[in-house]
Every structure is written in C-alpha cells, then in structure tokens.
Amino acid sequence: MTEQERIDIAYLDTGVYENPWRENLFETLPEDRKTAEVCRFAIKKSAFNIEFVPEAMKTPELCLAAAGHRGETLKFVPDRLKTPKMCRAAVDSNSYALYYVPEGLKTPELCMTAVKRNGLVLEAV
C-alpha cells in the first residue's frame, strides 16, 4: 500500500457514513486516487460507494461485495460483470435487486425467491 493510499483510506475512515447528510467523501476523491485498495476500503465502509468506483476499477469481486451487502447496488454494476452468484446474493439481500438482474440471468428460482419475499417485485419478472 502506498503512502497516498494510506492517507486516502484515513480520509475515508472519518465516520462520515454515520451522518447521511454529509458529503460522500469517496465520491469527492479524485479519480486517479481511487486505486483498487482504496475502492475495496470504500465498499467496506458503504456498499453504495460502488456507484463512484471508476468503471475500469469495477471487478466481479468488488461488485459482489457491494451487491451481496446491499442488493439494490446491483444497478451500479455493469451487466458484463453480473453473474448468477452475484444476482442471487443481491436478491437475497434485497428483493428489489431483481429489477437490475439481466433477463438472461433471471431464473425461475431467483424470481420466486424475490417474489416470495416481496410480491411488489412481480413486475420485474
């Protein structure tokens, strides 16, 4: 880990996520400082940070970590990175994630899981 990564991680670790009315520090971090290490830390702090991870830095592992913790973050994952495992984890976390599952990955089992938990997602089937 570089010194700049340590500084950026310390910056992100200031407790801002406990107050939703404050600015998202990860979002404000310059793109060139959003390294793999910093992005991993940001996702651990808040799965919603996946929205602000540069597309080139989004990996299946990083996206799975976010979607498995907060299913609705699946909407920020490029379709090319979505896997059956990731979609299952997302729907298990939040039934509304079914809206962001590509048609080719929607299985009857996945759809039933989502609908049993929340009938309002039936229109996403």
Model pTM score: 0.86
Q: What pLDDT is attached to residue 122?
A: 93
DSSP one-letter string for 43-93: HHH-GGGGGGS-GGG--HHHHHHHHHHSGGGGGGS-GGG--HHHHHHHHHH
User: What are the C-alpha distances in Å from 96 to residues 3, 10, 25, 51, 125?
Assistant: 40, 33, 27, 17, 11
User: What amino acid occupies position 103?
Assistant: E
pLDDT at 93: 96
| Tokens 């200031």 belong to residue | 14
Q: What is the pLDDT along the chain (125 residues), one digit of tens a residue?
A: 899 999 899 988 886 555 555 567 899 899 999 999 999 999 999 999 999 999 999 999 999 999 999 999 999 999 999 999 999 999 999 999 999 999 999 999 999 999 999 999 999 99
What are the residue boundaries of the structural domains of the chain, listed by start?
A: 1-57
The pLDDT assigned to 39 comes to: 97
